[in-house]
Copies of this chain bind each other. A is one copy, B any other.
Amino acid sequence: MGRLARDLIARTEALGMRVAGARLALPGLVDARSSSLRIAPNLGWSDVEPVPLVGLPGAVRVTIANEADLAGLAQVWGTPPAVRATRTFLYVSGDVGVGAALVVDDALFPGRHGWSGEIGHVVVDPSGARCRCGATGCLERYAGKEALAGAVGLGLDVPDDVLTERLRQGDQAARAVLDRAGQALGLAISNAVNLVDVDCVLLGGVYARITELLRPAVHAELMSRVLAAPWAPVEVQAAPVGEHPALTGGALAVL
C-alpha cells in the first residue's frame, strides 16, 4: 500500500500538482491525536502506529481516521445538499466488520475519544456465537461480510459485486441469510435509534448494493422495537456515496 501511495504521489507531482495530504482509513478504534490504532479485531491488530509503516515522503502529512467515520462524512461532503436525505443520520457500513458513524447537523458525533459508532459490537443475541472482539452475539457475526458470504458458500475475499449478485439470485440459502442479517441489523439499528433518536439510516459498504433486499427485515424490527416509530418513521436508504466512500471521505477530509 505504501508503494501504491508513493507511486501515486510521484505521478501526481510529475503532473505539476501538489499533494495536500493523506488520510489513512482504518477499521477499529483510531486515536487520531497519538496517530495510533488501538484495536482492529478483524485485522488482529492492536496498538499499532501505522503512519511510519506506510513510509510516505516526509513532505506529505499523513493522518489516520476510522473508515466508517470517513465514509459517513463522505455522505455529507460528497453529495450536494439537494441529493442528501438529511443533515442528521446514522451511517451503517457492512464489510468484514460492521461500522457506523453518527452524523448530527452535518458533523460527526465523535464521542469522548472519537470511538463512537461501534455498532458491529452491539449485542444481537447474548447467547450467540463468539466474535473476534471476544464478546458473544455481536452484530458482525450475523450481518458482517463473513456471515453473508459464508452462508452462500463464498469466501471472505469474494468481491462485493459477486457476493451481492449471488445474494440477489434469491435461492433459499440467500433469502435465509438476508433475512437473518436484516433482522440482526434492524435490531442493532433499533437500539441505536432508541438511544440517539435519528430518523434516517444510510446503508453503506456491501449493504448499499442490497439495501432493498435487507429493508423488509430491517423495517420490521424498527417498527416493532423503536418506541418513536409511529410518530417518527425511520427511513432506511442506500448511502448516496456508495463507491469507495472511505476513500472519498478521506480525500475530502484533507482538503
Contact = CB atoms under 8 A, between A and B. Distances in A.
A123 interface: yes
A93 to B, nearest CB: 14
B122 A194 contact: yes
A68 to B, nearest CB: 12
Given A196-B111, A199-B112, A227 B126 contact: no
A187 B232 contact: no
B135 A224 contact: yes
Interface residues of A, number: 48
A133 interface: yes
Contacts of A115: 197, 227-228, 232
A134 interface: yes
Interface string A227-251: 1101110000000000000000000
Contacts of A196: 102, 109, 111, 116, 195-196
Interface of A: 28-29, 31, 38-39, 41, 88, 100, 102, 109-119, 121-127, 133-135, 187, 190-192, 194-199, 224-228, 230-232
Given A29-B228, A116-B196, 17 more contacts: A28-B227, A29-B227, A31-B231, A38-B231, A39-B231, A41-B227, A102-B196, A109-B109, A115-B232, A116-B195, A116-B197, A122-B191, A123-B190, A125-B125, A125-B126, A125-B127, A135-B224
